[in-house]
Structure 1
Amino acid sequence: MTTRPAHVGSLLRAAPPDRLPEVAAEHLRTTLPAVTGMEIFLSDLTMTSLWPVIDPEGAPGGRLEQRVFGSQLPLADAASGQVLLPLTVWGDRLGVLRVELDQPAAPDLVEHLTGPADELAVALRAAEKDTDRYHQVSRRQRLTMAAELQWALLPGRSLGGERFKLAGQLEPAYAMYGDHYDWALTGDRLTLTVLNGHGDGIEAALLTTIAVNAMRNARRSGANIVEQAELASDAVYSRYGGASHVSTLLLEIDLTDGAVEAVDAGSPRALIAHEGDIRTVHLEQQLPLGMFGDGRYETQKFQLEPGDRLLVVSDGVHAATPAGRPEYGTSALLSALRRTRLQPPAEAVGTVMRALRDYHADVEPEDDAVIVCLDWLR
């Protein structure tokens, strides 16, 4: 009786969290004789480069790996005998899997490798909580303590569904202050939050941690965004007595029709782009969270139409004035947003962030920056 080889998903679930690459490589070599090698490339924190896991001293991902990471489409390179596949979980781009062969890659082999790549991506995402190996690959320098707190708090880098695509980026990656974003998908509701914490360094990170966890606590108890804002405001005020606050924009998007409820508690700003036209979402600002005790908030509403792109930015983006230049949000932000028209959100946030860096030129940013981009597809 012939014993069938174990499914790669079963092998990965049984493997130690730090040995997933080696287990996946051994499985491919055993089940596909044409396979001669494998490497996993993970994105760095700035989403600008890809770094090897199995051979950490090896060369970073090159043009082909970057192409697959950006397009999210598998690629068979006949010249080099390689197959490259995106490693993505629920729209969150982790990196790229490179499989080396001793023969040209046939189309059916590319299709066959898609399943193991997807299983490996899910396993890598789950293993991040139990090993530092993959974090060490993604970090190209040491994080400040504030940045360590902020990265541990983030939900992910991107998220996708049938009706929407979503991505966020936070910089500077290795030395953050108090800016942050959060999101959660439950049924037909997508909750999105962008925060700009008062102060800098670890104190700002601790302030943001209190606010984010208070909102999560309320949200996970079934509270709406008004109750989330009020609980977070009370939590911040009880800790700081009004000396520190968190400017916050909370959005709850109905994924059945694109209706949006918003609580605008401060400085994050929202814009909607549609077929080249860009407009600001005008909301009445209420007091930042934690400024006063017993703070109360109200919702406002706006509507997303099919094909709309919603961009939410912190004041480190829209209010940036490097070397006395006009605010970035006055016109430069609009120009950068227009250049993203044909890009998915995961690429668009990088384009806008790079344009912000160029706007600063040689001037060190005075604040950190958050950009969140949502495409409403339905």
Structure 2
Amino acid sequence: MGTSADRDQHQQQRRNDPTQRRVLIVDDSRLQRRILCTSLRRWGYDVLEAGSGPEALELCASVEPDFVISDWMMPGMDGPEFCQAFRGMDRDSYGYFILLTSKSEAVEVAHGLDAGADDFLTKPVSGDELRARLNAGERVLQMEGELVSKNRLLTSTLQELQTLYNSLESDLVEARKLQQSLVKERYRSFGESHVSLLLRPSGHVGGDLVGFFPINARRVALFAIDVSGHGVASALMTARLAGFLSGTSPDQNVALYEGEYGIYDAHPPHKVAAELNSLILTEMDTETYFTLLFADVDLVSGEISMVQAGHPYPAVQRANGEVEFIGEGGMPVGLLPDAQFETVTATLQEGDRLFIVSDGVTECEDASGEMLELEGLRDIMQRNASLGSHDFLDALTWDLSRFTGDTELSDDISAVLFEFGGEKRNLD
């Protein structure tokens, strides 16, 4: 029988040689236990004994054996019952279970396997066969140990990744707030005319930027930018570009210059694009480029001069709902040092509006992979012609969601809506 002193001795031996395998022999026959113990200790195993299933379970609660060799026929709790109880114990590692039996019928063997046994030995036990079965079990335990070690490493790695992901997720949430703050105003009135903005990244952060700033009392500049790529790098570029087109720091705004009597004026749109092109290529070590739509709007005459540098064609919707697309296309900004940009003009009448969108709108796809394109945008604009400012932009978002089948948009969505209400009379 195993005593508390025996268990302490075995635990000390285990500490001295942690690689030594522990075997528990469970048999109501003292002689059978002694025979097996002699062989096992000679082979280098740390051996524990128990004379019954309940005694063995008590031992296993404090000392986890690597192997269990149990007799089938025992009073009270037989081998299969003990095996089933053993399998139900909470263990750190697997225990290889061998049943000793004189039973050879398939039904009995199946019963032992169902109880959780790994292998069988018939009585009388052959030393060579016992050693072969233990060697087979050793291979199983080694594989199990390797799997446990790898699973622990995997679990630890996953926990580290989860920690990093949680930190990154938190940073991206804050980054989204900061990027949205770049668009300080989503709506402003200029006399009877109005500007409304839409900015909706497809991920936490995106590469789209929209905005406006007064040039002087008579004119307002509108801009829409779509930086190549997605994610943090694109978002950082939009933050840099927002500083170049800031309405709150006119001295740093590349579109503005201070004219006579301290009144600000704006460079022609094609020169604004050229200046940004030069800044990107000479001052920023990056492979990133962007498309740009920059428009200079006269609030009195309704005249517009603009540059379309790779951005989708802007739409002019007349007061009667008809839509026409204008522009000359052109190269994106930041690709070629000698890129040429052209200024084009248009004129709005009272009740007309200018609508500028990113390619996330015109290139969004339905379930079959068909893109919305300009004609689809025309249909949306005509369908919502009676809506103004926020309602119009909300309707655009709704219609895009319906077009895509309520799937997540794969690209950022941004838009600038300028509604011309007629000549601005107060130029203070």
- CA distance in structure 2 between the partners assigned to 1:161 and 1:301 by the alignment: 21
- The reply on whether 1:219 has 2:255 as its aligned counterpart is yes
Which of 156, 168, 183 is the aligned partner of 2:185?
156
Aligned to 1:363: 407
Where do 1:29-40 residues align within 5 Å?
Answer: none
- The reply on whether 1:262 has 2:292 as its aligned counterpart is no
How far has the Cα of 1:242 moved from its partner? 6.7
- Asked if the contact 2:349–2:420 (Cα under 8 Å) also holds between the matched residues in 1, the reply is yes
Quote the sequence identity (%): 22
Aligned to 1:321: 365
- CA distance in structure 1 between the partners assigned to 2:190 and 2:410 by the alignment: 35
| 1:262–1:370 CA distance, 2 compared to 1 (3 A) | same
- Asked if the contact 1:214–1:235 (Cα under 8 Å) also holds between the matched residues in 2, the reply is no
**What per-residue deviation string (whole Å, max 9, x for no partner) do you get for residues 164-206 of structure 1?**
1110111148723101101012311110001111111110011
Q: Normalising by structure 2, what TM-score?
A: 0.51
Q: Secondary structure at the match of 2:300?
A: coil
- The reply on whether 1:188 has 2:192 as its aligned counterpart is no
- Asked if the contact 1:198–1:245 (Cα under 8 Å) also holds between the matched residues in 2, the reply is yes
- CA distance in structure 1 between the partners assigned to 2:391 and 2:176 by the alignment: 23
Aligned to 2:398: 354
- CA distance in structure 2 between the partners assigned to 1:234 and 1:190 by the alignment: 24
How far has the Cα of 1:293 moved from its partner? 2.2
- CA distance in structure 2 between the partners assigned to 1:325 and 1:276 by the alignment: 32
- Asked if the contact 2:295–2:307 (Cα under 8 Å) also holds between the matched residues in 1, the reply is yes
- CA distance in structure 2 between the partners assigned to 1:143 and 1:307 by the alignment: 41
How far has the Cα of 1:332 moved from its partner? 3.4
| 1:363–1:239 CA distance, 2 compared to 1 (3 A) | farther
- CA distance in structure 1 between the partners assigned to 2:274 and 2:244 by the alignment: 9
- CA distance in structure 1 between the partners assigned to 2:402 and 2:172 by the alignment: 23
Aligned to 2:53: none
- The reply on whether 1:176 has 2:205 as its aligned counterpart is yes
- Asked if the contact 1:269–1:318 (Cα under 8 Å) also holds between the matched residues in 2, the reply is no
Q: Secondary structure at the match of 1:205?
A: helix
Unaligned segments of structure 2, at least 5 residues: 1-169, 247-252, 258-264, 423-428
Which of 306, 309, 325 is the aligned partner of 1:281?
325
**What per-residue deviation string (whole Å, max 9, x for no partner) do you get for residues 259-307 of structure 1?**
1101110123311222444333321112111112254423111111111
Which of 323, 328, 336 is the aligned partner of 2:380?
336
Q: Secondary structure at the match of 2:311?
A: coil
How far has the Cα of 1:243 moved from its partner? 2.1
- CA distance in structure 1 between the partners assigned to 2:419 and 2:321 by the alignment: 15
1:316 counterpart letter in structure 2: G
2:219 counterpart letter in structure 1: R
Which of 230, 238, 258 is the aligned partner of 2:274?
230
- Asked if the contact 2:209–2:225 (Cα under 8 Å) also holds between the matched residues in 1, the reply is yes
| 1:235–1:210 CA distance, 2 compared to 1 (3 A) | farther
Unaligned segments of structure 1, at least 5 residues: 1-140
How far has the Cα of 1:250 moved from its partner? 0.5
- The reply on whether 1:201 has 2:245 as its aligned counterpart is no
Give the number of equivalent residue pairs: 238
How far has the Cα of 1:346 moved from its partner? 1.9
Aligned to 1:47: none
| 1:173–1:316 CA distance, 2 compared to 1 (3 A) | closer
Aligned to 1:271: 315
- Asked if the contact 1:194–1:314 (Cα under 8 Å) also holds between the matched residues in 2, the reply is yes
| 1:355–1:254 CA distance, 2 compared to 1 (3 A) | same
- CA distance in structure 2 between the partners assigned to 1:316 and 1:346 by the alignment: 19
- The reply on whether 1:312 has 2:342 as its aligned counterpart is no
**What per-residue deviation string (whole Å, max 9, x for no partner) do you get for residues 330-364 of structure 1?**
44322322233222212211111111122122422
**What per-residue deviation string (whole Å, max 9, x for no partner) do you get for residues 309-339 of structure 1?**
2211100001212434432234432232223
Aligned to 1:293: 337
Where do 1:242-261 residues align within 5 Å?
Answer: 243-261=287-305
Where do 1:67-86 residues align within 5 Å?
Answer: none
What CA RMSD, in Å, does the superposition of the two structures yield over aligned residues? 2.4
Q: Secondary structure at the match of 2:212?
A: strand
| 1:171–1:371 CA distance, 2 compared to 1 (3 A) | same
- CA distance in structure 1 between the partners assigned to 2:175 and 2:340 by the alignment: 29
Aligned to 2:130: none
